[in-house]
Chains A and B, each alone.
Chain A
Amino acid sequence: MNADIAAAFADGPAFIPYLAAGDPNYEASLEYVEALERGGADIIELGLPFSEPIAEGSTIQSAIVRSLAGGMTVGRYFEFVEEADVDVPLVCMTYYNLIYQYGDEEGPAPFVRRAKEAGIDGFVVPDLPAEEADPLREACTDHGLDLVFIVAPTTDDDRLERLVSLSSGYLYVQARLGVTGARDDVSDQTTASLDRLAGYDVPKAVGFGIKTGEHAERVVAGGADGIIVGSALVDIVAEGHESDAPVGETANRLEALCRELKEGAVAGSRATTPERT
C-alpha cells in the first residue's frame, strides 16, 4: 500500500484529475499538470498514451494522438514524471502492452521499478481485469505501489467482492457503461454502484463523465470518497491547442475548473455529513 495515496483520502473527498502526459506537447503539458495541483488536486492520474486506447472516448483518444504525435514515449514519460513539479501522489494510467513490453523475462517488474524511481505511486490499467493482473499486482506489492481496479456497472456481486479485495489505494467506480467522456448529467448507474459499495470500507473514487462542480457535489453526496475527472479537463487542453491560446491562459482555465470541481466535491461531503460543518 502506498501511504501517500491513502493519505489523500484522509480528510475530505479526494479530487483526482487526469491528463494525458505530453498533450499537446511535453513543455505545455508540464505546465498543465502543475496547474491541476494549484487547482486543488489531491492525486493526479497521469496518462501514458497507448496507440489503441479501447476504454477511451473520442476526447481522450484525441489527446493520446496529440501526445504521441508530439513525441511522447515511455522513456520521455518517466522523465516527465521526474520533471513535473507537483507534490501530490501520481497514478500512472496506461494500457498493459506498454507495461509488459518494458520488461523482459521479468514480466512487468522492470516497468514498476522504473515508475517508482520516477515518482509514480500507483497504476490504473483499464485493459487489465483481475483475471490477468497477478504479475503486475505482485510487482506492485514488491515495490510498495498501488494497483487500482475498476468496478463497472455490469460487475456482479461476486466479482465486486473480489475486486474490492484485490484493489489497493482506491476503487475506481466507473460511473456508467461505456468509454470515458464528459457528460451533461450524472448517470443513475452511479448512484446504484455507490449504493452497492456502501458497505465496503475502501476509498471509492467515481470517474467517467464528471464535468462540473455540481456533478462533483452530487457524486460525493451520493457516497463517493473521491471524484476522477479527465475528459472535461482534456477538452480545455484541446481548445487551447486548437485556438493557439497561450499556454498560461489554458493553464489558468484548467486551474479554475479544478477549483470548481474540488469545491463541488467538498460541498458534496458537507451534504452527506452535516455534523462536520
Chain B
Amino acid sequence: MPESNSKRRSERKFGDYGGQYVPEALMPAIEELTDAYERYVLDNEDGFMDEFRERIRDFGGRPTPLQRADNLSERYGSDVYLKREDLLHGGAHKLNNALGQVLLAKYMGKERIIAETGAGQHGTATAMAAAHLDMPCEIYMGRRDVNRQRPNVFRMRINGAAVNPVDIGRGTLKEAISETMRDWATTVETTHYVIGSVVGPAPFPAMVRDFHRVIAEETRRQAEEQYGRLPDAVVACAGGGSNTMGIFSDFVGDEGVSLYAVEAGGSSLSVDEERGVAPNSASLSTGSEGVLHGARTKLLQDGDGQIMESHSVSSGLDYAGVGPELAYLVDEGRVNAVNVDDDAALEAFHRLSQDEGIIPALETAHALAFLEETDEDLGEFVVVNVSGRGDKDLEAAIEETEKRDLPNAPDMGVFE
C-alpha cells in the first residue's frame, strides 16, 4: 500500500467533514487516542500492527476468500465476485475494527471496554475481542434492537460482556451511541470506547477505516491473482460505512474502479418532517450536512437540525448519520451513493441464499439488491462485499418476509 507523507498524520477532517464535536471532558482522551493511533497503527510502534495482523489471521480467520458467484454471474451477465467477510470470525467484517481497537486499548493501558451496537454484530465482535484479550466489556444497545437481534445479545453475554439496553427515543443505534458517549464521559480515564463504524470524532473515522483496510488489501491482491486485474466496480452496503470504507480504501486512487455505497432506502425516501421520521436510512442520498456524535457529516435531520428517526429492515443500517470520509468521497464524485428499499433487500436475502447457498446479513442484502435494481452497466468484473452472514437476522427475516408478498420467498407456512 502506498503511504503518502500526508497520511502519516491522522486525518482530522475530510474536506469540511469530520472534526471533533465532543464535550471537553473527552478531549484529553481523544488527544491521547490520536497519539496512540499515530504511534501504534501508523508507525507500528512496539510491533502493534504486526500483532494485530497475526491475531486477525489466527483468531479472526483472515484472509477471507474472494469467491466467484457462478449463479449470480450468470444472472447478471458479468463476473460477480463476493468478498466473504461473512466468513470472518463472528460472522461479519466488524471483528477487524473491534480487535484492532481492543488491542490498541490494551497497548494504551486502558482497563475497560465499552461499545454501542445496532445489529449486534459490532457488540458481538467487541465482546469476542475483549474476551480474547481479557478485558472487561460493556455494550449499549437500543431496546428495539435488543428485541430484534436476540441471538447476538446472547452471543455478547456468552462472551462475558454486559449488555445495557437503552430505552431512550426509538431505541436504535443513534440512542445507543449517545448513551455510550455518556458512559465514556464518566469513565474516560480508564475506559476505551470502541466505536463501531467510521463515525464519531477524529481520529475514529480514519482509525476504524485503517483497521478495515485489510479487506481492500486482500481484495486487491486476490483480484489480481484470480482475475488478473482490478475490478470494474466494487459494491458495499453503507450504514456508518465501515465495511464500505474498508473495501473502498485502497481503490479510491484507481479511477477505473467504480465505487458504489448502497444505503437503506427503507420503505420510502420521503420524510415525515412533522413527526421527525425518515422511513429510510439514506443519509448520503437524501441527508444534509450537520453535526452528530462528534463529527460533521451528512445526516437525516429536520430544518431546525433535530436528528430524525431513521428506519431500515436491517438494524445495522438503521442510523441517521454516516462516516465523514464517505460523505466527502460522495461529494467529490468518487463514490456513488445509491439505495435500495426494504423489499428489494429481502428479495436479495432470499436470492443469495437460494442461488449461492450463502445466507447474507440483511445489511449485505442491500448491496446485493443493487445488482438487481440498477440500470447502470457495472462492467464485467464486479466485487460485492459480503459484510456479514445472516444467522443473526433469521428471526427478523421470517417476520419481515411474512409481512410481504415477495416473488422469491420460500413457503413460510411451516411457521404457522
Contact = CB atoms under 8 A, between A and B. Distances in A.
B295 to A, nearest CB: 10
A132 to B, nearest CB: 5
A61 to B, nearest CB: 6
Given A57-B182, A100-B305, A159-B28, A52 B23 contact: no
B193 to A, nearest CB: 12
B406 interface: no
Interface stretch (A15-23, A148-156, A219-227, A257-265): A148-156
Interface string B166-186: 001100001000100110011
Given A55-B185, A127-B291, A155 B307 contact: no
A250 to B, nearest CB: 24
A97 B189 CA distance: 27
Contact of A150 (B24, B187, B189, B291): B24
Contacts of A96: 21, 291
B29 A52 contact: no
- Decide if the interface of chain A is mainly helix, strand, loop or mixed: loop
Interface string A72-90: 0111000000000000000
Given A178-B185, A179-B185, A102 B305 contact: yes
A191 to B, nearest CB: 17
B287 interface: no
Contacts of B46: none
Given A132-B19, A177-B188, A163 B304 contact: no
A50 B293 contact: no
A6 interface: no
A192 interface: no
B290 A152 contact: no
Contacts of B168: 61, 65
A88 to B, nearest CB: 26
Given A54-B293, A159-B28, A179 B182 contact: yes
Interface string A111-135: 0000000000000001111111000
Nearest to A56: B182
A190 interface: no
B96 interface: no
A132 B21 contact: yes
B97 interface: no
A155 B415 CA distance: 57
A57 B291 CA distance: 20
A101 B182 contact: no
Interface in B2-42: 19-29
A127 B27 contact: no
B308 to A, nearest CB: 8
A243 interface: no
Given A73-B304, A101-B290, A127 B186 contact: no
Contact of A127 (B22, B299, B304, B307): B22
A178 B186 contact: yes
B270 interface: no
A75 B276 CA distance: 16
Contacts of B22: 54, 127, 129
A129 B293 CA distance: 13
A129 B169 CA distance: 26
Interface string B300-323: 010111110000000000000000
A52 B178 contact: yes
B174 A52 contact: yes
B185 A128 contact: no
Interface in B143-167: none
A92 interface: no
A128 B25 contact: no
A68 interface: yes
B292 interface: yes
A98 B23 contact: no
Nearest to A163: B24
Given A61-B168, A177-B185, A177-B188, A52 B292 contact: yes
Contact of B292 (A97, A155, A174): A97
A149 to B, nearest CB: 7
Contacts of B19: 131-132
A51 interface: yes
A100 B307 CA distance: 13
Nearest to A100: B291
Given A52-B292, A54-B293, A96-B21, A154 B182 contact: no
A264 to B, nearest CB: 26
Nearest to A111: B305
A159 B24 CA distance: 10
A100 B299 CA distance: 13
A152 B301 contact: no
Contacts of B188: 154, 177
A129 B305 contact: no
Contacts of A154: 24-29, 188-189
Given A54-B181, A97-B301, A100-B305, A129 B23 contact: yes
A177 B189 contact: yes
8 contacts: A52-B292, A55-B182, A74-B305, A96-B21, A96-B291, A97-B291, A126-B24, A150-B24
Interface of B: 19-29, 168-169, 174, 178, 181-182, 185-189, 276, 290-294, 299, 301, 303-307
Given A55-B185, A131-B27, 15 more contacts: A51-B276, A52-B178, A54-B181, A57-B182, A65-B168, A98-B305, A100-B290, A100-B291, A101-B303, A102-B304, A129-B21, A129-B22, A132-B19, A154-B189, A179-B186
Interface of A: 50-57, 61, 65, 68, 73-75, 95-98, 100-102, 126-132, 149-156, 159, 163, 174, 177-179
